Structure 1
Amino acid sequence: MVRMGLRPGFVLSVAVVVALGVIERSVSGVLSGVFGALFGILVGLAGLQVGQLVGALLLGVQVHRVVIGVGPRLGEWGTAARPVVLRALPLFLAVAVGPGRGPVRLRMWGAALVSAAAGVAVCAWMVTDAFRGGAFFHGMAVTCGLAVAYALVPRKTAGSTSTGWMLFRLHKLSPRQVRQMEAAPLTGQAIDAAHNGDLVSAERAAAKLAQAYPDLRTAIAARIVVLEARGRYAEAMVLAVKLASQSDQEPHEAAVSFAALAGLACTTVEAGQLDSELGLSTASTAITNAETLGYPRHKLNGSRALLNLLRGNLDRAIALARIAAGSGDDVIGRADDLATLARAHMAAGDNRTARQVIGEAEKLVPWWPRVANTRSRLEVC
């Protein structure tokens, strides 16, 4: 209960109700204000995300993914490297961006500035409406302001980076983080090529990264992606262990490293390139470490599904893989989860369902090694 009471969302909720009580001084007014408050949060967050997207497009920051709404997926456009996803309830907008062309830091800072300016502008609009309206508009203005203010607090976790961190921390990066920014155009090139199936270009970029940045964290991560795209899991596993063992990484970076190690260990065991007992033990420990360090639990469902499949827990594997494939918006990750789901159905003796599932994966990235290998196994069955 103490931990729940200290969470920002809970604290902000209490603050909103108290503020509305002071302003409205009636039960009906507070209730109307609460409904307005819910709308205000959505408007504030949307303003920040629209600003982020506009700033990224104007300033050459790389847009990795755009997700509109929550709930079941209705449609998807773009490429495996840059998907645009539409979900059933268009309540939220989520924009994932990363370093693009140089100068990297200046461009990313500029995009964050546009995002903050858009959020503040939306808040000003809400406040103007609050002076002319009633309790609903008061609640809307309060929560819109709180949502934008919270986004401007500098914080970086395993799952997200705030607008405030981009604005107020980018100029204070360590030498290692500066090198990561400098290497970003080449790492992005390698990952994009791998995700789009251009493996020749991906390997060329990975070779340049290995030569120019042999121990740089982001460069190693990009090389792992390229090796996975080639099905060279044992080699990727060596790099993943090296990445997770780096002593100078921050907790949120270590969480991402362990999450990647967990999935890769399972995949390497599945491919017969690693001893089963060692690989599954490594994966289980890596999942625990990633969660402990703050990695979002739901993003580990794909690794848990494959771990359960390899251990023979088929019902659990099917349930987790279905959840992972339905909730994920990364195209490669979703295809991988669908391959796990198909293999779990195969292991359960349901090849008909397995063929349907792998057909969905093939619509996304038919060349991805686990997808192609699963199809080959089904053709033999």
Structure 2
Amino acid sequence: MPAADFLPRSRLSSLFDLLKQRGYLLIGPQAVDGAILYRPLQHPEQLPNGIEQIQQPGQYRLIRTDNPRQFSWANGPQALKPLTFAPRETLWHSELNADGSLSFHEEIASPDPTAVIGVRGCDLAALALQDRHFADDPYYQKRRASLLLIAVDCAHPADTCFCASTGDGPDAKAGYDLALSELDEGFLLRVGSAAGQTLINALPLETATEQHRQQAETQQQQACQQQRQLPEFEPARLIHQGQHPAWEAVADACLSCGNCTSVCPSCFCFSESEVPELDGTASSHQRQWDSCFSEGHSYIHGHRFRPDTKGRYRQWLTHKFGSWVEQYGRSGCTGCGRCISWCPVGIDPLEVLTQLGREDKE
């Protein structure tokens, strides 16, 4: 449905004020240490005004311009994942009782209601995948329920972006409470939930003009045309291409650092460990992010099933682009391009998929 409401840029502070009045902690993008990061917000002036990006394989750089917009960038290393799937958290405590028995206490945090501003379509699609994977996880679900999501359509894709070809962007498709299309003069608004509708009803809006709608449509078309394309390959075939020479080539470059899985908005691997107190009377059972690139990830009963980088990279790519289709009905990739930009040696999985797809055609 076309957006019918328009919020002038000069009135963006009214949205911030409204959210704070309703008890939300505001989180949004800020330029911090050379990257766009989610941080607590108090007012629109903290947004990355006039900031644009250069992203290429192994490269990420911010540029300050005279652009009046506050969302003229594609993404930063964070997505929504740290807000729902915590990088490290305590699942339960155990304590030694006086009689020698143990007591266990589950620890589920109760986060404050949080409004996240500036969410991208690719990250909403990744969140939907995380929602399915952690559907029965009370720790995840508690954080997820606390979020109100305000999306902003991406009109400035990076050279590493390909969300249009995965069907997940550059505009926000679903999963938001409120979505904004940024123009020079302000924002077109559209509603995605009842919570979003209550915000719309309380904001000092104007009626969107046909010119506003045309500008938004044109910039979204241009954003699609500027992007790379996901190469053609057969997802079900990936698991059967274990001897393809592409794996050797990528293994020679890959550092197994796990950067790609850390910045990926949909990766969900984790490990669990016990953290005992020094006096031996209590212990915490903790969960933290892990990666299929780590040496211990495939360790089972004295054996590592993927002992080398070749096997680890192959596992990551075939799972992400192949077996996720069988598990969830779609690829685990939403086209954000972070794994390309934040790889220290500039490995591009689309180039690997191109080689694998070429073998299918031959």
Structure possessing the higher relative contact order (Cα contacts under 8 Å, 6 or more residues apart): 2
Superposition TM-score, scaled by structure 2 size: 0.23
